Amino acid sequence: MARVALALLACLFSTAAFAQSLGAAVGTERGGDATMAQLLSREYEIKSAVPNGSKLIVFMQKGTSAYACEFVNVTKTRCASIN
């Protein structure tokens, strides 16, 4: 069941509309910007990644909280909550 949900999310996140809306929705629980490094320091785990052109969309989870991160390179990422 979790794999089906993850596959559906992967399809959603690979669309151009999501790429455009990610810029407006970037944030953390407190409303600020988040990077993969910050999420990793808060013990979020990388669950999967899907290619999106020259970028990757990386899914991270901790408990019931989940993020999708646009990963361009090791110094340029941005993440948005997906729940």
Neighbouring residues of 2: CB distance < 8 A, sequence distance ≥ 6: none
pLDDT of residue 74: 76
Single pTM value for the model: 0.59
- pLDDT tens digits, the chain, 83 residues: what are they? 555 455 545 544 544 444 444 444 444 444 446 888 889 999 999 999 999 988 899 999 999 999 999 988 878 888 999 87
Q: Which residue segment(s) compose the domain that 41 sits in?
A: 2-81
Please give the tally of structural domains in the chain.
Answer: 1
pLDDT of residue 66: 92
